Homo-oligomer: A and B are copies of this chain.
């Protein structure tokens, strides 16, 4: 392509973002170059600001401008409840749902023999330290995948001797879900966990 190497490099880096392939990265680069003042320059600045300001929380692993993060230091949140998630994205999802008013612990992934993710590569040691300090309930909010559930079982075994209440998220029919479109695993889980009205 007879274009400057600056454009090529921009496209190559954009193509490494999730959700953008080589073709959509080209489209994105063109839009950026056309909207130089309102998009390209502000986005470059926002990235530099984020790179300078955002860091992982030393306590829970959340990403924030301060460490410990604003969730860990929020006095209105219940310090006795700890929700363990695989990833910061899961923490954000739970915060958007506004369903949990305790604190979080981000593992940084899930156990996976295939990908070589062992317990040592996850933020497990810090979790065992944290639960010693006045935690009453640990909620294991892993993904409902093989890796997530393996991780949940592993953590349940580890936490068994600590005298804690350990819970996990309910599995069942998603709200708004139609039975016809659900897989057998979900239907079976929903059936087994049926409740009296």
Contact = CB atoms under 8 A, between A and B. Distances in A.
B50 A40 contact: yes
Nearest to A30: B89
Given A28-B19, A51-B36, A88-B30, A43 B13 contact: yes
Nearest to A43: B13
Contact of A3 (B1, B41, B63): B63
Contacts of A24: 18-19
- Size band of the interface chain A makes with B: 35 or more
B54 A43 contact: no
B16 A19 contact: no
Contacts of A16: 39
Contacts of A46: 6, 9-10, 13
| A-B CB proximity, top 6 nearest | A44-B47, A4-B65, A19-B24, A13-B43, A17-B28, A10-B46
5 contacts: A4-B53, A10-B47, A17-B32, A26-B89, A43-B47
